[in-house]
Amino acid sequence: MPLTRDQMQAASDLLCRTWSEGGVLTALPEAIRPATRAEGYAIQALIERHTSEPLFGWKIAATSLAGQRHINVDGPIAGRLLAERVIANGAAHSLTGNRMRVAEPELAFRMARDQPPRAAPYTLDEVMSAVGALHLAIEIPDSRYENYAGAGAPQLIADDACAHWFLLGLEAPPAWRGIDLAAHRVTAAVAGKPPLEGSGANVLGDPRVALAWLANELSSLGIVLRAGEVVTTGTLVTPLPIAPGDRVSADFGSLGTVTVHFTP
């Protein structure tokens, strides 16, 4: 039987309470556990009742093979970015309570125009024409599930697609529009350890393709992708293992750099 509104609210309340308290769940109780992606998204939407700030934007999880393997799903899923969980470039940040403990360098688009739901899919050109700016970013994901790799897509979607903290870097130079983002290279490293290299091709083949996927995923759910919202498109490199005391930097070449330090 499909979940009722009350059951979905109970699932959302439990996930949000677990998040705020730094707790962990084995899984959602069977009576309120989503069985489909649609139920997962309906539970996720109720997270907005637990924040007083306007929605900051959206994240796309599992846009690379490495990301899909990390949480054991076969394709991308979307989650909400909450304003109170956004940190600045160069910030010092605590990993207390974080079990996933990875950092993910990403490219994030800030929208300049709404993309409302519609019957016809959005094309890549249409979505890109609605973009106002490109930002460099680092996502610091986590899950409220003890075994997130075994939770399955509906539960992970309900859990805000493993959203946790998000570092928004400075706006990239306007010349980014002339760059082949699929071929663009990024080097990321934990200080003192060998760097990892990646490119935009690791994000559904191209970060712009990922953005178009997100616009169409929201459209299918009847959700407006709004002007001013930020969409972070997924990790460009294999997720970097991190620990307290680490300093992570990501070099996007001509687009700039972002850093974050994790307090001991």
CA distances from 233 to 146, 191, 254 (A): 25, 24, 19
Alpha-carbon gap, residue 217 to 72, rounded angstroms: 20
Residue 247 resides in a domain: yes
pLDDT in tens, 70-109: 888 989 999 999 999 999 999 999 999 999 999 999 999 9
Write out the E strands in 82-228: 86-88, 92-93, 102-111, 131-140, 165-171, 185-190, 196-199
Q: Is 21 exposed, middle or buried (0-12, 13-18, 19+ CB in 10 A)?
A: exposed
pLDDT of residue 67: 78
Q: Residue 240's beta-bridge partner residues?
A: 103
Mean pLDDT of the chain: 96
Mean pLDDT over 1-24 rounds to 96
Residue 40 resides in a domain: no
**pTM of the complete model:** 0.96
Residue 82 resides in a domain: yes
In this model, does residue 188 exceed pLDDT 90?
Answer: yes
The CATH number of residue 136's host domain is 3.90.850.10
CA distances from 241 to 61, 198, 213, 246 (A): 17, 15, 27, 10
Mean pLDDT over 204-227 rounds to 98
**Reported confidence tier of residue 53, pLDDT bands at 50, 70, 90:** very high
Mean pLDDT over 159-166 rounds to 98
Alpha-carbon gap, residue 114 to 224, rounded angstroms: 7
pLDDT of residue 237: 94
- For residue 159, the 8-state DSSP code is T
Burial letters for 72-86: b for 16+ Cβ neighbours within 10 Å, e otherwise? Answer: ebeebbbbbbbeebb
Alpha-carbon gap, residue 117 to 112, rounded angstroms: 16
Mean pLDDT over 160-172 rounds to 97
**Reported confidence tier of residue 68, pLDDT bands at 50, 70, 90:** confident
Residue 120 resides in a domain: yes
| Planar angle of CA 234, 29, 156, nearest 5 degrees | 5
Task: Yes or no: say if 177 and 88 are a contact pair by the CB < 8 Å rule.
Answer: no
Residue 30 resides in a domain: no
pLDDT of residue 85: 97
Mean pLDDT over 119-128 rounds to 98
Mean pLDDT over 232-252 rounds to 97
In this model, does residue 10 exceed pLDDT 80?
Answer: yes
Residue 25 resides in a domain: no
Residue 73 resides in a domain: yes
pLDDT of residue 216: 98
Q: Which domain holds residue 182?
A: 54-262
Q: Which two tokens stand for residue 160?
A: 């805000």
In this model, does residue 65 exceed pLDDT 90?
Answer: no
Indicate the number of domains in the chain. 1
pLDDT of residue 69: 84
As a whole number of Å, the end-to-end CA separation of the chain is 47
Mean pLDDT over 217-237 rounds to 97
Residue 71 resides in a domain: yes
